[in-house]
Chain A
Amino acid sequence: MRTPEILIALSLLIPLVVTAVIALAGTLGLARARRVRRAAAMFSPLTVLPAVLLTLVGPEAELEVPWLLLGTAFSMDAAARALTLIAALLYGAALMAVTWVKLRDAESGSGALSAFLMVCFAGNIGTYLAADAVSFYLAFAIMSFSAAGLVIHYRHQAARRATRIYLVMSVISETAILAGLILTASAGGYLIADAPAAVAASDHTGLIVVLLLIGFGVKAGTVPLHVWLPLAHPAAPPAASAVLSGAMVKAGLMGWIRFLPLGDPAIPAAAGQTLLALALIGAFAAVVAGVLQSDPKVVLAYSTISQMGFITALVAVAMLVPEVTGAATAAAVLYAVHHGLAKGALFLGVPVVKHYAGGRTGILVAIGMAGAALAVAGAPLTSGAYGKYVSKEAVEGITVLGLGLDQILPLVATGSTLLLMRFGWVITRAERAPRRRPDGELFSWLGVCAAGVAVPWIIGLRWIPQAGDFSWTASALWDATWPILLGVGLGAAIAFAARRDLLPQWLSADGQTVPPGDIVVAEESLLVRGGRSTSAGLDAAHGVTARVRSRGASGGHRLAEWTRRGASRAEAAVGSWEGSGVVIVALTAVTVVLVMWAGGLW
C-alpha cells in the first residue's frame, strides 16, 4: 500500500480505535478504567493528525476495500480535501478544548464526550472521502447517530428534548437518503463518480432529487427541516456545537454535491426553484428568529441556519443554471470552508469568554471574537469577504422575482451583522467564571481563530482552482463593507428604539416570542395531541375487533374444550414428558432402521 492509502485508512480507523479503548476500559475496574479513559481522552486530539496529513500529501489519494460491505472505495478530490482539513482542525480543537484542561475544569464525562466526538469525526470525514453510495451512507449514519451522544451530553431536560427531536429528524433524513441512494444505485450510480449521471438518466429523477434534498436538507439546516439546530446547539457542550455547526452541517452540502446532477436539465426546474426559495427564506427568516433570542448559542445556531441558507442558495443556482454550475459549487465549498472555521471559533469562544474575558487575555479574547464575528459577516480582509465575493461572482446575472441574486445575497451579510451584534450583546452580559492559567480550551480557540485568518485563502487559491481569486479593487471592498454598515445602522436604530421603549411589547428579545426551534414547537404539540387521539382511536378499534373475535371464537372454544379433554387423557396415557420423549426417539429409531432395511442398505 502506498502512503496516501494508508493515511485514508488511518484517518478513519485511529479515532475509532481510541474510542474502542475508552469504551472497553469499562472492563478494567473503576480506578484503572478512569486512568485509561483519561489517558485516551488526552490522546484524542491527536487522532485527527492522519487526516490533516492526508489532505497535505494526498490530493488524489484512493483506497479500495472490495470485501467491505458491498465493496467500498474512498477517494480524495478538491472538495473533500478542503472540507476534510476544516473538519480535522475543528474536531481537533474541540477535542483539545474538552480534554486538555485541568481535571477539575473538565466536562463531566469528558471521556464519553471525546469518544462521541471521535466517532462523529470518523463519520464526518467519511462522508467527504467516500467514493461509493454505501460507504457514504455508512459514514453519514455513523456521524448522525453519534452526534446524538454529543447533544444529550448534559442529560438535562432541554438536552433530552433536543436529542429526541434531533433523532426524529435524523431518522427522517436517514430514511429519505437510504431510499434515494437505493434508487441511485439501482440506476447504475453505485460509485459516486457515476451517481449524478445515473440520477439524471434514471426513470425516477424527480423522486431521487426530492428524497436527497429532504434527506441532506435536514443536516444542512434547510428550512423547514432546520428545527433541530436551534435546540441541539445550546444543549450540547460548546465544543460539540462548534463541530456540529462548523463541520457536520456541511456533510449535507457534500451529499448534494456528490449525488445530484447539478446543472443537468433532467432535474425538474421546480426542485431547484423550491430549494432556492427555501434557502433564501432560511437565510433571512433565521435573522428575525435569531435576534429575538437571549441565549448566545441559540443566536449562533440561527446564524448557522442563515449562513447555510446562503450556501444552499448557491447549490440551488448550481442546479438551475448549467453555465455557472462549476463556479457556484466551488463557491459553496469555499464558503463552507470559511464558515466552518469562523463559526467554529465563535462557538469555541463562548466558554473562552466565560473563563478568560478578564485581564490581558481578555483583550486577546475580544480581538479574536470580534475577528471571527467580522469574518462571518464578511468584512473586508476576512475570509468571509473572500467567500462572499466568490459567491457573488458565481451568481452574477441570475434573478429572483426581478431582483438580481447578486443583490439579494449581500443582504444576508446585513442579517449576519444584526445577529452577531445581538450575540455580542448577550455574551458580554453572560456570567463569568475566570480561570487563572490558560489551557487547551483557550489554545484550541486561538488555533481555530488563527486558522480562520489564513486557511480559507490558501484553500481557495491553491486547492479549489474554480473558486477564483479575490479582486482587490475598491468596489469589491465597498461591496463587502456596505451590508455591514447597513446592519450596524439598523442594529443601532433597533437598540435606540428598545432603549426608548418604542418597540411593541411582543417583540421583546427574551426567547419567548419565538421559542428556540420556532416551528417545531407547534409541530411538537400538534404531534403529541394527534398521537394521543390517534392511539386512543386505535385502542378503541382494537377493542372492537377483539370483542368480535372472542364472540366468534366461543363456538370454537366449545369444540376445542372437547378435543382438549380428549387430548389430556391421551397425554396422561403417554405419561410424563420424559416418557414421551423416549417414545419419540424410539419410534424414530425404529423407523430409521426399517427404512434403511427397506432401502436395501442392510
Chain B
Amino acid sequence: MVVNDLIPLGLVLLSVVVAAIIFPLPQRVARLRSTVNLVGAVTKLVLVVLLVPPVVAEGARPEFSVPFLPTGGGEAISLVLRVDPLALFFAGLSAVLWLLTTIYAIGYLKGTAYQSRFFGFFSLCVAATVGISFSGNLITFLVFYELLTLVTYPLVAHWGDEKSLKAARLYMRYALGGGVAVLVGVVWLTMEAGPADFAEGGAADVADFAAGSPTVAVIIFALLVGGLGVKSALVPLHSWLPAAMVAPAPVSALLHAVAVVKAGVFGIVRVVDDVYGIEVAWELGGLTPLLILASITIIYGSYQALRQTEIKRRLAFSTVSQVSYVVLGVTMFSMAGTAGGVVHLVHQGIMKITLFFCAGLFAESMGAHKISDLRGAGRRMPWTSAAFTVGAFGMIGLPPTAGFISKWQLGLGALDSPHPWVLVVLVVSSLLNAAYFLPVVYSLWFGQKEDEQDSEQEYDGADAPEPGTARTGDDARVHEPALLLIPALCTAGFTLIVGLAASLPFSPLEISRFIAEGVFS
C-alpha cells in the first residue's frame, strides 16, 4: 500500500463527512442513516488496518502538517497529524469499537427521537478521537481534545431529562476546568520550548528546556497531567464519570472504552513518553507522584465499585480503577511496565465496552439496573451473561483473557522498575476486582430470586429441569436483540482472542512492546 501523507487527514475528515451527511437527515430515514454510519465505520477500520504493516513493520510515518498559529519571527506553529505506532494503536481501538458501537447504537436507539442529532455528534466524537490519536504535537492534541469535550456533551445529555442535563453539566464543568489547565500548560510549554513535536523518547527542545529550568518544567508537567487527569478520572478528579452514567448505554460504552476517559490517559502517555520523554520526566521527579496517585485511584476506585449496588455505577467506578492501570504502567519507569500500560489502553477498552454493552442489554431486555436484578439472568439471557462473564473475568485478570496479559505484563514491569511495591497494588486490586465482579457472575449463573430462597430447603435438585430448558414465568428466555448482542459477543471474543494470541505478530501486546522499546530508546 502506498502510504500517503494525506491519510491521517482523510481519516479525521471521514468521520466529519459522515456527521455532515447525518445531521440534516430527517428522523425517519433510518436506513440511509445507518448505511452512511456503517460505510464510514467500515472504511475507517479498513484504512487503519491497512496502515498497520507499513507503520509498525516498515517504519513509515505519514504526516500532514499546516501552519496554524503565526509566531513572531521563526517558523509558525503547525497543526500536525502524524501516524506513529502509538497513534495507530489508539486509532485502531477507536476504529474497531466505533464500528461495533455504531451497530449497537442503531439497535439501542431504534424508534427513539433525535437520532440524527445523536449519530451526528457520535461521528464528531469519533473524529475528535481520531484527531487526538494522530496529533503530532501538543497544540494539535489540545484542539481535538477540547473539541471532544464539546461534542460529547450532547451525547451525555441525550435523553434531555433533568438528571441527564445535570450530569452533562457536571461533566462539562470538570472537562472544561481540566481543559483550561491543559491549555495553560500547552501554551506555556510552547512559549518556552517551541511546538514540541511528539517524538519517541521525548522532544529534544523540551529536554533542553527542562535541563535549563526544571522548576518551570515541573509546574508545566503538573498542569498538563492534572488537566488530563480530569478526563482520565484520576482520584480526586473522577466524580463526573459515575454521574455521566445516565447517558444512553452506547455513549457510556464509548466514553469508558475509547473516547473521553481514554483520551485523557492517552494524553498522559503522550506527555510522559513523547513530549518530556520518560528519562526527563523521571529526572524531574514527575513520575513517582503520578504513580502514587494512580495507585490510590486503582484501590479507591475498586473500593467504591464494591460499595455500589447499581450495575452501571459499579462499572463506572471499575473504569476509574482500571484506566489508572495505564497511568501506573507508564509511570513505573520500566520498559515492561510501559508496554503493560500501553497494551491496557486497548485491553481495558475491549473488556469494559463488553461489560457496558451487556449492562445495556440487561437493562433493555430485562429491565435490570441493580446487581440484585441479575439473579438467574444466565438462564434467561445466556449469551449476554456469557459475554459479561468473559468481560468480568478479564477485569479480574484471569487467563486466558486480555486482562490477564495486562496484569502479568504490569507485574513484570513493576518488578523491573524502581517500585516493586506496585505489585502489591496489582494484587490488592485483583482481589478487589474479584470481590466485586465474581458475585455478579455468581448471581448471573447460580443466583436465585428471593422468593425461591424461602422454599429451597425442600428443594433437593431431584426435579431441577435441564439447564437451558425454557420455564414458565420469570425463568423464560428473554429475547436478546441481535444488533445489541452481536457487538457484545464480538468484543467478548476479542477479549479472549487478544489474550490467547498475545504473542502473534501485530497483536496489541507485540505492538505495545514495540512502542515501549521506542520510548526507552
| Assembled-state Cα–Cα distance A66/B151 (Å) | 44
Q: Chain B interface: which of A74-82, A107-115, A479-487?
A: A107-115
| Assembled-state Cα–Cα distance A174/B382 (Å) | 26
| Assembled-state Cα–Cα distance A598/B76 (Å) | 11
A231 CB, nearest partner CB in chain B, Å = 16
Are B117 and A155 touching (Cβ within 8 A)? no
* Chain B neighbourhood of A157, CB < 8 A: 456-457
| Assembled-state Cα–Cα distance A601/B6 (Å) | 11
Q: Does A1 contact B (CB under 8 A)?
A: no
Known: A68-B500, A577-B154, A582-B24. A137 touches B446 (CB 8 A): no
* Chain A neighbourhood of B484, CB < 8 A: none
Are B446 and A163 touching (Cβ within 8 A)? yes
* Chain B neighbourhood of A25, CB < 8 A: 468
A interface, over-half SS: helix
List residues 428-456 of chain A with CB under 8 A from any CB of chain B. none
Q: Does A134 contact B (CB under 8 A)?
A: yes
Q: Does B463 contact A (CB under 8 A)?
A: yes
Q: Which residue of B lies closest to A535 (CB)?
A: B307
Residue among A71, A175, A584 making CB contact with B151, cutoff 8 Å: A584
Residue among B23, B397, B462 making CB contact with A578, cutoff 8 Å: B23
A298 CB, nearest partner CB in chain B, Å = 18
Are B499 and A108 touching (Cβ within 8 A)? no
Q: Which residue of B lies closest to A113 (CB)?
A: B467
Q: Does B407 contact A (CB under 8 A)?
A: yes
Q: Which residue of A lies closest to B416 (CB)?
A: A186
Are A155 and B459 touching (Cβ within 8 A)? yes
Residue among A167, A179, A577 making CB contact with B438, cutoff 8 Å: A167
Q: Which residue of B lies closest to A65 (CB)?
A: B503
Looking at B431, B435, B468, which has the most chain A CB atoms within 10 Å of its CB? B468
Q: Does A153 contact B (CB under 8 A)?
A: yes
Q: Which residue of B lies closest to A556 (CB)?
A: B173
Are B416 and A175 touching (Cβ within 8 A)? no
* Chain A neighbourhood of B117, CB < 8 A: 577-578, 581
Q: Which residue of A lies closest to B431 (CB)?
A: A175
Are A564 and B169 touching (Cβ within 8 A)? yes
| Assembled-state Cα–Cα distance A182/B441 (Å) | 26
| Assembled-state Cα–Cα distance A36/B502 (Å) | 34
Q: Does A493 contact B (CB under 8 A)?
A: no
Known: A152-B446, A595-B79. A585 touches B20 (CB 8 A): yes
Known: A37-B466, A577-B154, A595-B66. A582 touches B23 (CB 8 A): yes
For B441-483 the 0/1 string (1 means CB < 8 A from A) is: 0100010100000001101111111111110000000000000
A303 CB, nearest partner CB in chain B, Å = 25
* Chain B neighbourhood of A178, CB < 8 A: 397, 407, 411, 427, 430
| Assembled-state Cα–Cα distance A167/B24 (Å) | 54
Q: Does B120 contact A (CB under 8 A)?
A: yes
For A570-597 the 0/1 string (1 means CB < 8 A from B) is: 0000000110111011001100100110
| Assembled-state Cα–Cα distance A290/B486 (Å) | 52
Q: Does A30 contact B (CB under 8 A)?
A: yes
| Assembled-state Cα–Cα distance A595/B23 (Å) | 24
Q: Does A565 contact B (CB under 8 A)?
A: no
Interface size on A, residues (CB 8 A): 60
B interface bracket (residues with beta carbon within 8 Å of A): 35 or more
Q: Does A562 contact B (CB under 8 A)?
A: no
Are B499 and A69 touching (Cβ within 8 A)? yes
Q: Which residue of A lies closest to B172 (CB)?
A: A567
Q: Does B305 contact A (CB under 8 A)?
A: no
Q: Does A364 contact B (CB under 8 A)?
A: no
Q: Does B351 contact A (CB under 8 A)?
A: no
Q: Which residue of B lies closest to A585 (CB)?
A: B20
Q: Which residue of A lies closest to B413 (CB)?
A: A186
* Chain A neighbourhood of B397, CB < 8 A: 178
Are A585 and B400 touching (Cβ within 8 A)? no
Are A186 and B415 touching (Cβ within 8 A)? yes
Q: Does B42 contact A (CB under 8 A)?
A: no
Q: Does B501 contact A (CB under 8 A)?
A: yes
| Assembled-state Cα–Cα distance A156/B458 (Å) | 9
Are A109 and B446 touching (Cβ within 8 A)? no
B453 CB, nearest partner CB in chain A, Å = 8
| Assembled-state Cα–Cα distance A116/B391 (Å) | 20
Known: A70-B503, A182-B423, A592-B13. A108 touches B399 (CB 8 A): no
Known: A26-B382, A68-B500, A186-B412. A153 touches B399 (CB 8 A): no
Are B412 and A584 touching (Cβ within 8 A)? no
Known: A26-B382, A134-B399. A175 touches B468 (CB 8 A): no
Known: A26-B382, A581-B117, A595-B68. A69 touches B23 (CB 8 A): no
The 10 nearest A-B residue pairs measured at CB: A599-B66, A182-B411, A154-B461, A186-B415, A138-B399, A26-B468, A108-B464, A171-B434, A581-B120, A581-B23
Interface positions of A (Cβ within 8 A of B): 25-26, 30, 33-34, 37, 66-71, 108-109, 111-112, 134, 137-138, 141, 145, 152-157, 160, 163-164, 167, 171-172, 174-175, 178-179, 182-183, 185-186, 535, 538, 560, 564, 577-578, 580-582, 584-585, 588-589, 592, 595-596, 598-599, 601
